[in-house]
Structure 1
Amino acid sequence: MILITLGTQDKSFERLLKAIDIKIEQGKVKDKVVVQAGLTKYKSENMEIYDFVEYDKFDELIKSCDILITHGGVGSIITGLKNNKKVIAAARLKKYKEHTNDHQLQIIDNFKKAGYILELADFDKIDEKIEEVKKFKPKKYKSNKDNFNAIIEKEINKYL
């Protein structure tokens, strides 16, 4: 199953849903597709679409998906990585009024260069990217929390 999550941004990301819907119609994507659309209003008979889902339901969807296709938000990407999912990230872009700026491009680029995810830049090739991610061996994600905690502890100890 492919899970698509568009986050909670107050701007539409219909462009991504249209792209996959077309490929499903063409028979080029055969996987079941479930969508957490947030405030993106999109109707399709080819996908199971939810506006928002409760945390437990979202957790269940993440755990049961084979592939996570997500917007370029750090939280969504890391959620997929922490659950050992193959992640494809697509940036919301300012020129399409999907976000206020293009910072998601940099976020995705950093995760991609580190070997964690694949980037979907050409939405017309979403079917090819899905096939590519099935063979993709992502780098195992390791949280930087321990390093962060050590830095904080060191700073606190300066004052003790």
Structure 2
Amino acid sequence: MIFVILGTHELPFERLLTEVEKLKASGVIEEDIVVQNGHTPYESEHMTFRPFVSYEDMDRMFDDSDLIITHAGTGSVTTALKKGKRVIAVARLKEYGEHNDDHQLELVRVFEEQGYILSWDDTKELEDVIHQSEDFTPAPFKSGKAQLIGLLQNYIDDL
């Protein structure tokens, strides 16, 4: 199964769904596709939509998927990485009315440079990135949470 995650941001993100739909309809994607679509209205004969789901259902869908194609939200990307999943991240962009700013571009850049994810944008074909993902082994994810907590604790202790 391919799990497509759009998150819960109030602005729609149809650009990604249009590309995934095209690949499923043409037979490039053969797997079942489940989409957590949030506030993005979209109709398809090829994908199953779940606008808002419980934590338990999200966790199960992460576990059941072979590939995660997600907006570049920190929670979605890091959850997939912690579960050892292959991830294709797509930044929601201001120019398309998908977000209020382009902060997701930075997350995509950093995570891709570190070998955690693959990314898709308008300069690439999603089909090519999906084929690339078949042989992609993500770098083991190392959260910076403990380091950040240590820095904050040291700072507070020094006050």
Q: 1:55 to 1:110 in 2, by over 3 A?
A: same
How far off is 1:149 after superposition?
Answer: 2.3
Q: Match for residue 111 of structure 1?
A: 111
Gaps of 5+ in 1: none
Q: Match for residue 48 of structure 2?
A: 48
Q: Percent identity?
A: 39
Amino acid at match of 1:60: R
Give yes or no for the alignment of 1:17 onto 2:17. Answer: yes
Q: Distance in 2 between matches of 1:123 and 1:24?
A: 20
Q: Are the counterparts in 2 of residues 71 and 89 from structure 1 also a CA contact under 8 Å?
A: yes
Amino acid at match of 1:48: T
Give yes or no for the alignment of 1:133 onto 2:133. Answer: yes
SS of the residue aligned with 1:121? coil
Q: 1:147 to 1:18 in 2, by over 3 A?
A: same
Gaps of 5+ in 2: none
Q: Match for residue 143 of structure 1?
A: 143
Amino acid at match of 1:87: V
Q: Are the counterparts in 2 of residues 28 and 127 from structure 1 also a CA contact under 8 Å?
A: yes
Q: Match for residue 99 of structure 1?
A: 99
Give yes or no for the alignment of 1:69 onto 2:69. Answer: yes
Q: Distance in 2 between matches of 1:121 and 1:45?
A: 24
How far off is 1:124 after superposition?
Answer: 6.9
Once the two structures are superposed, residues 22-74 of structure 1 have per-residue CA deviations (whole angstroms, 9 ceiling, x without a partner) of: 11111111111110000000011101111111111011001111111100111
Q: CA RMSD in A?
A: 1.4
TM-score (norm 1): 0.94
Q: 1:123 to 1:59 in 2, by over 3 A?
A: farther
Once the two structures are superposed, residues 5-36 of structure 1 have per-residue CA deviations (whole angstroms, 9 ceiling, x without a partner) of: 00011000011111111111111111111100
Equivalent residue pairs, number: 159
Q: Distance in 1 between matches of 2:17 and 2:144?
A: 32
SS of the residue aligned with 2:70? strand
